[in-house]
Amino acid sequence: MSVPAILEVDNLQIHYRTREGVARAVDGASFSVPEGKIVGLVGESGCGKTTAVRAIMGVLAENGSRAGGRVVFQGKPIDAGNTRPLLWREIAYVPQSAMSSLDPVYTVGEQIVEVLTKRGGAARSAARARSAELFDLVGLSERRLADYPHQFSGGMRQRAAIAMALALEPSLLLADEPVTALDVIVQRQILDTLRELQQRLRLSMVMVTHDISVVAYLCDEIVVMYAGQVVESGPVREVLARPRHPYTMGLRNAFPDLVSDAMELVPIDGSPPDLRETLTGCRFAPRCPFVETACLSHALAPVTTGGHLSACRRDGEADALRAAALRPSTWLRP
């Protein structure tokens, strides 16, 4: 790839200690974020996408730990120990629910000023001017700086959270389902704002979402995760038009599409495996309509063809499988 990567995640392993044993929430995931690009991280809940993002920031839950792998940011390996100084200044975060990241007893303006002064070392007066600027940037009136979070609508809170994330001019923005809870028109407005800011400020972004359509609309690259691993990744246009992994094909079928002529949504039968168990072979095999005996015992290392990565043993037959996957009957269980 010609564009250098701002972030590289290599064979990341995240384990959670639970009462029923160790859950391998992320189990050997690798992907990279090219500089100035938006990468969409998709998958069902529990596939490890949020955990991966939290691991990049070094803020895992108490029972979680990095058991292996490397995260390289701007050429330097980072881990929980040395990420903290980078947060806000280099790596910023936009949560799903801005309400949980905004403190209800302070005005939104005070909270942005706080980030600018405490984290950025700015003087209060400069910080105030800058927060007005930031509000303007995300499309909020600077008069609203004096408002409390509860006086904001959902979309405005999300804009405020983006403004706060951008306060110290980070180079990488991590957004965890930033538009999931929003109505479709507001969602679109926020996505447009994100796209515009990303281009204007030349940000790199990781966008965690379960919504393929949002990835299609906003992102340059897509990383599809399943059961803690990356099963497919590549340029959005390429991956959505010509998915190579059966899981991506299934997700694509299961997803509502306003403009297609198909009148049926096809579910992927079954559910993701329990990550506390020892898993062998391809993790998607038990749900895969194209499964072969060998899939159950041997997982294949991902194959990359022209920047398009897929981890399927039958990758050579991808074109035929894709044609079969379009038929709803393929996904019906006997």
Given the rule CB under 8 A, which residues bind another protein? 44-45, 153-156, 183-189, 191-192, 195, 210-214, 216-217, 236-237, 240-241, 250-260, 263-269, 271
- Of 78 and 161, CB closest to another protein: 161
Question: CB of 6: closest distance to another protein in angstroms?
Answer: 22
Environment class of 153 (CB within 10 Å of its CB; exposed 0-12, middle 13-18, buried 19+) = exposed
Residue 65 tokens read as 């730990």
Beta bridge partners of 207: 40, 175
If the CB atoms of residues 21 and 316 are measured against another protein, the closer one turns out to be: 21
- Considering beta carbons, is residue 170 or 234 the nearer one to another protein? 234
The residue type at 8: E
Closest C-alpha to 214, from 243, 239, 236: 236
Q: Give the largest Cα separation in the chain, rounded.
A: 69
Distance, CA of 87 to CA of 90 (rounded, Å): 6
Parallel, antiparallel, or unpaired for β 64-73 and 303-305? unpaired
Report the nearest approach of another protein to the CB of residue 257 (Å): 6
Residue type, 36: G
- Compare residues 102 and 236 and give the one whose CB is closer to another protein: 236
Q: Could you give the CA distance from residue 308 to residue 326 in angstroms, rounded to a whole number?
A: 20
Helix (H, G, I), strand (E, B) or coil at 85: helix
Rounded least distance, CB 258 to another protein, Å: 4
Strand 64-73, strand 38-42: pairing: unpaired
CB of 288 to another protein, least distance (A): 13
Give the residue with the Cβ less far from another protein, 66 or 188.
Answer: 188
Instruction: Kindly list the distances between the CA atom of residue 300 and the CA atoms of 8, 242, 297, 312, in Å, as whole numbers in the listed order.
Output: 21, 20, 10, 6
Choose between 58 and 234: whose C-beta lies nearer to another protein: 234
3-state secondary structure of 7: strand
Residue 252 C-beta: closest distance to another protein, Å = 6
Measured from the CB atom, the residue of 188 and 308 that comes closer to another protein is: 188
CB 89, min distance to another protein, A: 31
Nearer to another protein, 108 or 168 (CB): 108
Place of tokens 């190579």: 244
* Nearest-approach distance from CB 114 to another protein, in angstroms: 25
Nearer to another protein, 69 or 155 (CB): 155
**Can you tell me the distance from the alpha carbon of 21 to that of 76, in angstroms, rounded to the nearest whole number?**
33
Minimum distance from residue 195 beta carbon to another protein (Å): 8
φ, ψ for residue 72, nearest 5 deg: -115, 120
| Residue 35 contacts residue 4 (beta carbons within 8 Å) | yes
Look-up of token digits 């204007």: 200
Nearest approach in angstroms of CB 203 to another protein is 18
